[in-house]
Amino acid sequence: MCPTGTSSSVFPTRNITDLRSAFDILDVDHDGKISHEDLKTSYSDADDDVILTMMTVADANKNGYVEYDEFEKVLKNNSSNNKGVMEDVFKAMDCDGDGKVGYGDLRNYLNEAGLEVNDDEIKAMIRLGGGDNNGVTFDGFLKILAV
């Protein structure tokens, strides 16, 4: 979720070239695939319909799990088919419901997800998404994920 090609002073030790770390966080039981139960644990505030939508869109082979290649395809593909799922993820992250994912929203989400990020990294994500001091819109959020 962090930008590639940023100065080494902002992201000194990270090489964010794929979505493996995000996948590993959502794979709560670490069995190599994301299940409905994994998503319920990760998105405890999301209702079952949101989780079912995520699973339906991402589970291309319809085996009841999202494997890494399916996960990567959904997040790297910004087609209109997948925007509904990404909007649900955005809404889950937008804790205060203001239509933007701000610094606090990102900090809370990343901490809950077990990602260790510092203030500069969060600010860089918001800048990457074209955001301001109030955060990023949904379109900005998609820009962050596209990196």
- Comparing 8-12, 40-44, 48-52, 119-123, which segment has the lowest mean pLDDT? 8-12
Domain 18-80 identical in fold to domain 94-147: yes
Overall pTM > 0.85: no
pLDDT digits (tens, 9 = 90+) for 57-68: 788 899 999 999
DSSP per-residue string spanning 70-132: HHHHHHH---HHHHHHHHHHHHHH-TT-SSSB-HHHHHHHHHHTT----HHHHHHHHHHTT-B
The CATH number given to 94-147 is 1.10.238.10
Tell me if 78 sits within 8 A of 142, measured CB to CB.
yes
Q: How far apart are CA 25 and CA 124, in angstroms?
A: 21
Amino acid at 96: D
CB 82 within 8 A of CB 74: yes
Tokens representing residue 57 in the block: 């869109």
Provide the 3-class DSSP secondary structure of residue 54: helix
Mean pLDDT of the chain, nearest integer: 76
Given CATH 2.30.110.10, say whether it is the number of domain 18-80. Answer: no
Domain regions of the chain by residue span:
18-80, 94-147
pLDDT, average across residues 97-105? 89
- Confidence check: pLDDT of 8 > 50: no
